[in-house]
């Protein structure tokens, strides 16, 4: 863990997920967290897990190419701290350890494989990093899993992981909405009571894409997904729409890539199940998740409790030579 007395520093975070591999460079000025650089590759490491229990061979090639590039970027940038984490695909794959060893040998990057509970915790901490007063349930959808964590307004409570990511639901039998809904119901019913809430904080690329689709349908004037809010009714309308579309039709929608179009119908059905079982009334998007949660944990407690908006304004003012105490 980095020295807590360092308040202004550069942090790099690499997130090796079931669907994407991403590098983000951050600049920290106390509690103010600035994204400096953000690069993502949709490798689909977890695409073959349901059938082979191994990482996708094509995905491994794409991930290794991305990670070699990321290592070169880090060599040039030389951040103060580098955080590297892998989630469900690498955690569950039989060849996950072999993949981590290969990455270390070829790039020098040492991967921390998060447990399901850790993944849930860090996703929720990422929500709090961006919205300190968040109260409800964090839902982080990756390619292979869904992590649920209750946020009580003071911090993060116990979370859990469920096999409800798009790759886990795609069982090779084709997209059958009724069959997939039954699987979602079966997974959510036993845990619904402990996660019932009015508000869901949605973390993950699939949720963000759903929000972008709804923004386009509603002609929403801003294209800022972070903290975008949908009523349960509007979310259901969008979720059901994408679940009924073909991949080709979805790929024509604004902000939807072909690879994302393949997983979006599953994400829509999971959101519909969450609304049904948790009694949700409002869904709020969070662009921050596991990466920011890992970063947030490196801050000392006093820094964590500062208001991020005020901290950001103070940092910007400081760059202009404005004294923080100026009334």
In terms of domains, do 60 and 204 share one?
A: no
Residues 130 and 207 in one domain: yes
Asked if residue 173 and residue 82 are part of one domain, the reply reads no
CATH number at residue 69: 3.30.420.40
Quote the CA–CA distance of 258 and 260 in Å, as a whole number: 5
- Residue where one domain finishes, among candidates 76, 93, 113: 113
266 and 136 both lie in a single domain: yes
Residue span of the structural domain in which 46 resides:
8-113
- How many other CB atoms sit within 10 Å of the CB of residue 110? 10
Q: What is the mean pLDDT of the chain?
A: 91
pLDDT (tens digit per residue) in 31-50: 999 999 999 999 999 999 99
Domain end residue (candidates: 80, 113, 146) = 113
Instruction: Kindly state whether residues 124 and 101 are assigned to the same domain.
Output: no
CA 199 – CA 251 distance, rounded (Å): 29
- Measured in whole angstroms, the distance separating CA 240 from the mean position of its chain's CA atoms is 22
Looking at the structure, do residues 197 and 271 belong to the same domain, yes or no? yes
CA distances from 274 to 87, 129, 135, 209, 243 (A): 22, 23, 17, 17, 15
Domain harbouring 174, CATH code: 3.30.420.150
Number of domains in the chain: 2
For 206-249, what is each residue's pLDDT tens digit?
A: 999 999 999 988 899 998 999 999 999 999 999 999 998 888 99
* Averaged pLDDT, 255-271: 90
Domain match, 256 and 124 both: yes
Which among 309, 289, 319, 322 has a CA at the least distance from the CA of 119? 289
Q: Which ranges constitute the DSSP H helices of 131-204?
A: 166-169, 177-188, 192-195
Residue at 294 is within a domain: no
CA 76 to chain centroid, in Å, comes to: 26
Let me know if 271 is exposed, middle or buried by CB neighbors in 10 A (0-12, 13-18, 19+). buried
78 contacts: CB under 8 Å, gap ≥ 6 = none
Boundary (domain end) residue, out of 82, 113, 144: 113
Residue 169 lies in a domain: yes
Note the pLDDT of residue 174.
78
Q: How confident is the model at residue 2 (pLDDT cuts 50, 70, 90)?
A: very low
What pLDDT is stored for residue 184 in this prediction? 97
Residue 303 lies in a domain: no
**Contact yes or no for 294/83 (Cβ under 8 A):** yes
CB 235 within 8 A of CB 215: no
pTM of the model: 0.90
On whether both 214 and 170 belong to a single domain, the answer is yes
- Say whether both 125 and 101 belong to one domain: no
Task: Kindly state whether residues 159 and 265 are assigned to the same domain.
Answer: yes
Pairing status of strand 156-162 against strand 199-203: unpaired
Helix (H) or strand (E) holding 216, with range, is helix 205-218
With respect to residue 69, please indicate whether it lies within any of the assigned structural domains.
yes
Q: Are residues 15 and 154 in the same domain?
A: no
- Same domain? For 282 and 189 the reply is yes
Instruction: Compute the average pLDDT of residues 284-308.
Output: 92
């Amino acid at each position: 863990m980095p020295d807590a007395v360092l308040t202004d520093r550069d942090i790099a975070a690499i997130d090796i997920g079931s669907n994407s591999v991403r590098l983000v460079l951050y600049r920290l000025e106390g509690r103010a967290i600035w994204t400096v650089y953000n690069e993502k590759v949709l490798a689909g490491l977890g695409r073959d897990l349901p059938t082979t229990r191994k990482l996708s061979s094509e995905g491994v090639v794409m991930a290794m190419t991305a990670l070699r590039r990321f290592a070169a970027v880090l060599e040039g940038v030389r951040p103060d701290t580098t955080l590297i984490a892998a989630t469900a695909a690498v955690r569950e794959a039989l060849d996950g350890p072999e993949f981590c060893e290969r990455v270390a040998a070829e790039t020098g990057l040492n991967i921390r494989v998060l447990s399901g509970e850790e993944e849930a915790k860090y996703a929720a901490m990422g929500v709090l990093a961006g919205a300190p007063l968040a109260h409800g349930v964090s839902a982080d959808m990756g390619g292979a899993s869904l992590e649920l964590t209750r946020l009580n307004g003071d911090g993060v409570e116990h979370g859990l992981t469920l096999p409800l990511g798009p790759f886990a639901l795609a069982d090779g039998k084709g997209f059958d909405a009724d069959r997939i809904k039954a699987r979602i119901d079966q997974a959510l019913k036993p845990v619904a009571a402990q996660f019932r809430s009015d508000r869901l904080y949605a973390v993950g690329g699939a949720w963000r894409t759903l929000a972008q689709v709804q923004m386009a349908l509603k002609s929403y004037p801003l294209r800022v997904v972070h903290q975008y809010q949908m009523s349960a009714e509007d979310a259901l309308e969008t979720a059901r729409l994408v679940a009924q579309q073909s991949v080709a039709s979805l790929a024509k929608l604004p902000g939807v890539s072909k690879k994302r179009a393949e997983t979006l119908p599953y994400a829509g059905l999971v959101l519909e199940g969450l609304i049904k079982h948790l009694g949700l009334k409002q869904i709020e998007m969070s662009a921050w998740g596991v990466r920011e949660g890992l970063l947030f944990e490196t801050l000392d407690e006093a820094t964590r409790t500062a208001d991020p908006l005020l901290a950001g304004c103070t940092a910007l003012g400081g760059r202009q030579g404005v004294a923080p105490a100026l009334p």
